[in-house]
Amino acid sequence: MKELGKKKVMITGAAGFIGSHLVDQVIRMGAGVVAVDNLSSGSWTNLSRVQGNMEKVEGDVRDVAFIGRLMKRVKPDSVFHLAGSASVPRSVEEPLYDFENNCLGTVNVLEAVRVNVPRARVVFSSSGAVYGEPGLKKIDEALLPNPISPYGASKVAAETECMLYNRVYGVDVVIARVFNTYGQRMTRFAALDFLKKLRQDPEHLEVMGNGDQVRDFNYVADTVRGLLVLESKGVAGKLYNLASGESRSVRDLAVILLRVLGREKCVAMTFTGSSWPGDAQYWDVDISRIKLLGYEPGVRMEQGLSQLVEWFNQEVQ
């Protein structure tokens, strides 16, 4: 297998939060990148500082003819498929839109690979939402999916297609179950929402739910590191949890953020008591499988939140 720096790499969802950071790192490693995005939620601004061999292509993976033509022209060595919807609340409101983006779009990418570049390595970005509400169980890859939102269900369906394309057609695909990622360029979710609320009211922070929801918050550079490990060492047809391996409550996240801001004793926290449909309450993630490949998360929450705050103050109006 070629080193990544010598490959031609296609990244779907490249103008989004995680995708743009992945582009940054792949370019730094010396690879040529074809960055694909429909710009429904991403922005080419996220890639404005990229210096290297990159082609930007605006298009939608739901368009089977588009992705087929592009795959035939580019003939990538590796494909990172990150395009799709990534909002549980929106999936509850628009389940068909969510399914088309996450499942149909994934099948279109897999079929384009099968027909045009059958030897390409594919890394599919799934989600921890496939597990649903596992209770107090440690979440390892042997735990059966049990989604509680249309978003989680669409990712389970997409994973099933990935495994089928591997088993039936030999497509070299590996699946990353990505958990809550935070960092620069994020557009929503808890840490960013907290900063926006504090900008509006520096003395009060309202937290959705009771604050006891437990998550695994992973800094974006570590999520990217995990995706790259899977590209080079992941076993085709296998699933890998991609997280920090440290569980924290939403309340803990808020407290640590206030500490980073130097406002831990100046802000009153209140809780709404309820969250949105499909919001899981407890995720404690086992990452031992991906660690066997050499993955090690390297950014502590305090450090990651400091980077997020610096970016927020400079870039978010």
Give mean pLDDT, residues 66-86.
98
Give mean pLDDT, residues 66-91.
96
Answer yes or no: do 85 and 45 share one domain.
yes
Answer yes or no: do 209 and 81 share one domain.
no
Q: Per residue in 119-173, pLDDT tens?
A: 999 999 999 999 999 988 899 999 999 999 999 999 999 999 999 999 999 999 9
Query: Which pLDDT does position 280 carry in this prediction?
Result: 79
Instruction: Single out the residue of 177, 175, 228 nearest to residue 30, CA to CA.
Output: 228
Answer yes or no: do 293 and 145 share one domain.
yes
Q: How far is CA 36 from the centre of its chain?
A: 16
- Which amino acid belongs to residue 298? G
Where is 80: in which H helix or E strand?
strand 78-81
Distance CA 12, CA 28 (A): 18
- Which amino acid belongs to residue 302? E
Q: How far is CA 243 from the centre of its chain?
A: 10
Distance CA 262, CA 267 (A): 10
* Global pTM value: 0.96
Higher pLDDT, 51 or 197: 197
Active-site residues, by number, are 151
**What is the tally of structural domains in the chain?**
2
Band (pLDDT 50/70/90 cuts) for residue 2 is: low
Answer yes or no: do 24 and 53 share one domain.
yes
Percent of the chain at pLDDT > 70 equals 99
Answer yes or no: do 52 and 85 share one domain.
yes
Q: How many CB atoms lie within 10 A of CB 79?
A: 28
State which residues form the domain around 223: 4-182+216-246+285-299
pLDDT for residue 218 is more than 80: yes
Answer yes or no: do 278 and 289 share one domain.
no
Q: Per residue in 255-278, pLDDT tens?
A: 999 999 999 888 999 999 877 677
